[in-house]
Amino acid sequence: MAEPFRHIACCLDGSPAGDAALAAAMRMRALGDGRLTLVHVVDPGVEASAGIATDAANDAIEEARLWMERMVALAPPCDGVLLDGNPATTVCAWARESGVDLLVVVRHRGRMEHLLVGSVAQHLAYHAPCPVMLVRPPLAAG
């Protein structure tokens, strides 16, 4: 019999669709004694990427930190990690360094938008150092 996952990471983007990914990650964690880490990538913006700190960038980071604290409180016991940079490549590098053995991410772009701008979920599915669970968000009521 296969062993349960030891380290599950759930990528959250702040969208309502991310709730579906969090629910799936919590269900996977319930199957064993593995740990769960919630991951959010803050895009620091052009100024911060160039090494120029701005009030807007600092405010965005502080807002993300407070949001992550609320998310961690929803899924105890778990840890929260804030990263900065390009979401797709940053998450892959972090997952490799952190020994993640399952990455849970929501797939919420439509086919046309995917063709035009690409997808973080697609990048993770092809480049992550571990299996990736792509979670479809619930259909919008209407």
One pLDDT digit (tens) per residue for the chain, 142 residues: 678 899 999 999 888 888 899 999 999 999 998 999 999 999 766 445 555 567 777 888 899 999 999 999 999 899 999 999 999 999 999 999 999 999 999 886 656 545 544 588 889 999 999 999 999 877 764 3
Strand 132-135 versus strand 102-106 pairing type: parallel
SS3 37: strand
The span from the CA of 128 to the CA of 124, in Å, is 5
Domain boundaries, the chain: 7-135
The answer to whether 18 and 25 are in contact (CB under 8 A) is: no
The span from the CA of 116 to the CA of 27, in Å, is 33
CATH superfamily of 7-135: HUPs (3.40.50.620)
Q: pLDDT at position 41, please?
A: 94
Strand 102-106 versus strand 79-84 pairing type: unpaired
Q: Is the dihedral of CA 83, 130, 20, 29 positive or negative?
A: negative
- The pair phi, psi for residue 104, each rounded to 5°, is -110, 130
- Residue 64 makes CB contacts below 8 A (sequence gap 6+) with 40, 42, 82
What is the CB-side half-sphere exposure of residue 82 using CA atoms within 13 A? 16
